[in-house]
Structure 1
Amino acid sequence: MTIRLPDANGELRAYEPRREPLALRPGSPFSSRTVFSAAHVVADPFADVSPDSPAAVDWDATLAFRRHLWSHGLGVAEAMDTAQRGMGLDWVGAAELIRRSAAEAEAVGGRIACGVGTDQIAAGSLAEVRAAYEEQLAAVEEAGAQAILMASRALCAAASGPEDYLEVYGHLLRQAAEPVILHWLGPMFDPALEGYWGAADLDAATDTFLEVIAAHPDKVDGIKVSLLDAQREIDLRRRLPDGVRCYTGDDFNYPELIAGDDKGFSHALLGVFDPLGPLAAEAVRVLDTGDAKGFRELLDPTVELSRHLFQAPTRFYKTGVVFLAWLAGHQSHFTMVGGLQSARSLPHFARAYELADGLGLFPNPELAEERMRNLLSMYGVNQ
């Protein structure tokens, strides 16, 4: 049986859904790479809220999804932009998410790292930015999780040049209890971060970023780079001090970056590993055996889906991630914090469904098809 899907031109065409999913089973953590999935939150669909209200989260479903990721050996990067930080989830909600997820990680033996930012303030002086970072760093460390120092909109607005970034990050690294992950998020993910590290020129920004790391190598576990520029990431990771990891955040080029070359490789901290979790885990286990070719054969076909989800405006990739989680049966509804389920078009959803189904990502293809048909009917598409 076929399903009629709208294309980018608004024309309906027939698609025959896959009937058998990939056989992807839970497994242990990996030996050759450290891999995190940045996980989404599940909204409470019955909460009486508006787009401007504080986030209403379905905690049971949210934590169940994290257990799903941990069961496949993936680490969870918590309270990152995939969880709608700065796009519906405020610091109060993020702090609760961190506390709950860190406790769950301890209970099941899962690896977790959590985002530290400044989103409890909209703007402020450098001292206020530093204090906001300190509050969040203390909360993450108190929860027993590793800290990810996220890029700050407030710091980007308050800083007058590279020296302010060096001062703020140096202060935070000196007081961090354990080595942290530094996150460089490009403006394609958040336009408010244009000119981060004190320069619009990426070469100059890279020099400042590396200067921060060089001054405190013992406090930097690694860096997460989300610039969607594979060669720039490769060049940057080759300049890192010994012992400092590069976690790719490049949702366009991750297979080649994780596979690496004769001079090194990237670990991973990726939003796209939310919908790809079990398949990504299977691929990394193949890589653990030294089979880079087999790894690429499994992961390369996923890039088309990832590039579709992360197409401009890239910051709305979260909508496609949650849509696929609904189709896959990880949640009972397609509702998002802040009403963000409206951020992509029906043709976008249709293509995401087709690509994910073709990869065998849905554990129950019949359920995914049924839910896709229900969505299409809401838009007036009669089968």
Structure 2
Amino acid sequence: MNAILLPTAAGGYRAYRPNRDPLPSLTCGPARSRMFYAAAHVVADPLSASAEAGSQVDWEATLAFRRRLWAQGLGVAEAMDTAQRGTGLDWPGAAELIRRSAAEARAVGGRIVCGVGTDQLSAAGPHLLSDITAAYEEQLAHSEACGAPAVLMASRALARAARGPEEYLEVYGELLRQSSGPIVLHWLGPMFDPELTGYWGHEDPDEATGVFLKIIAEYPGKVDGIKISLLDAEREVDIRRRLPAGVRCYTGDDYHYPELIGGDGELASDALLGIFDPIAPVAARAAGALDRGDPVAFRELLDPTVALARHLFAPPTRYYKTGVVLLAWLAGFQAHFTMLGGLQSARSLPHLATAYELADRLGLFPDPDLAEARLRQLFAVYGVAS
């Protein structure tokens, strides 16, 4: 078995022998003990992808990937950060993605939630609160018309415009009053998007927590849950304990998800995670272990994936999508390594090489020979011997 030379950040190479024992294919029903959503990436059309927003999506390849997630029992969190909202996928593209994915979910009986925000507003801003609310309303109405529950994503426009927590309460309150069903609130931390610093009207996380807890308390029955994407496990556990009965805590912590989903014996987090896109076969098996009442097997399956997650989501965290799409290409789930907005260039070659190694060790490539051949093609483009 030949070794492949992987470039290192120090400028050298290390020899790695690829794993020839991939995980077998898996088909199963949805998890019962927790909600498991994978925030899914989009596949760009390589003939039209560019550095400009509004680049074209390869719809068939994008939907085929979602069908693969549903077949493994995972739900799809659509049109969210992993799908390059705000970093290549504009609102018209996201609206079409929501329409197509919601229809596909109905056809296969798959779970879906869809991100709604305010990204149809000009980035130049600032915008009036009434304009921000109207933008949210447009997207919320579209998602609900498509039959998909909504995730109220954090708004860059609101972060710029709001003068304090009262204005967050005003905007979110108006949206919850008119929503047709329970929705998920999303707290996306500045490590994922620096423009969201000080969200909920406070830079202090304790005070910010108090604001959205107040929103939830004022609109009982309108909030399905809160998705926490702060990469702070202790804070998530604290928030989880303070949520009203019946309101879920969806972990978005791609560093600490095994222990947060596993729970503390009393409470546990549900999952809405970008890392579930590349590790779907393992996540599905881990969900099955929980359903069987086997928390030990759950951790034995999911704990080894954390090294890959921490690597993909390493600072600058917002570029994690590059590694996610690389792994989908190496796994044979799409025909190219091209991203909306040209973000395939956002990570270094040594970073991508390590992502390959960590994923390969987990058996995530159905055809290891194909993965190796494609990695060597990528190296050749960079003028690197392998």
Match of 2:368 among 347, 350, 365: 365
Instruction: Name the amino acid aligned to 1:46.
Output: L
Ranges in structure 2 where 5+ consecutive residues have no aligned partner: none
Q: Offset at 1:217?
A: 2.2
Deviations 1:146-188 (A, max 9, x none): 0000000000111000100111101100100000000000000
Q: Say whether residues 1:285 and 2:299 are aligned partners.
A: no
Distance 1:226 1:251 in 2: 8
Deviations 1:58-112 (A, max 9, x none): 0000000000000001000000010000000000100010001001111111111
Distance 1:24 1:219 in 2: 38
Instruction: Map residues 235-274 of structure 1 onto 2, 5 A cutoff.
Output: 235-274=238-277
Partner of 1:133: 136
Distance 1:140 1:304 in 2: 35
Deviations 1:111-164 (A, max 9, x none): 110001000003311000000000000000000000000000000111000100
Deviations 1:197-244 (A, max 9, x none): 000000000000100011112000111000000000000010000000
Contact 2:53–2:87 at 8 Å: present in 1 too?
no
Q: Offset at 1:24?
A: 4.0
Q: Say whether residues 1:89 and 2:89 are aligned partners.
A: yes
Secondary structure at the counterpart of residue 150 of structure 2? strand
Instruction: Name the amino acid aligned to 2:230.
Output: L
Distance 1:265 1:24 in 2: 28
Partner of 2:55: 55
Secondary structure at the counterpart of residue 62 of structure 2? helix
Q: Say whether residues 1:332 and 2:335 are aligned partners.
A: yes
Instruction: Name the amino acid aligned to 1:61.
Output: A
Greater shift after overlay, 7-16 or 247-256? Answer: 7-16
Secondary structure at the counterpart of residue 249 of structure 2? strand
Partner of 1:2: 3
Q: Tell me the percent identity.
A: 68
Secondary structure at the counterpart of residue 217 of structure 1? coil
Secondary structure at the counterpart of residue 26 of structure 2? coil
Match of 2:162 among 159, 165, 186: 159
Q: Offset at 1:23?
A: 2.0
Match of 2:149 among 124, 146, 151: 146
Q: Say whether residues 1:31 and 2:32 are aligned partners.
A: yes
Partner of 1:299: 302
Distance 1:179 1:57 in 2: 30
Secondary structure at the counterpart of residue 307 of structure 1? helix
Distance 2:178 2:91 in 1: 21
Instruction: Name the amino acid aligned to 1:373.
Output: R
After TM superposition, the runs of 4+ consecutive aligned structure 1 residues lying more than 4 A away are none
Instruction: Map residues 63-212 of structure 1 onto 2, 5 A cutoff.
Output: 63-121=63-121, 122=123, 123=125, 124-212=127-215
Q: Offset at 1:50?
A: 3.2
Instruction: Name the amino acid aligned to 1:27.
Output: C
Distance 1:164 1:196 in 2: 11
Once superposed, what is the RMSD of the aligned Cα atoms? 0.8
Distance 2:359 2:50 in 1: 31
Contact 1:24–1:282 at 8 Å: present in 2 too?
no
Q: Offset at 1:262?
A: 2.0
What is the count of residue pairs matched by the alignment? 382
Contact 1:79–1:114 at 8 Å: present in 2 too?
yes
Contact 2:53–2:340 at 8 Å: present in 1 too?
no
Match of 2:315 among 285, 293, 312: 312
Secondary structure at the counterpart of residue 224 of structure 2? strand
Contact 2:98–2:143 at 8 Å: present in 1 too?
yes
Q: Offset at 1:263?
A: 2.3
Change (3 A) 1:44 1:179: same
Instruction: Name the amino acid aligned to 1:143.
Output: C
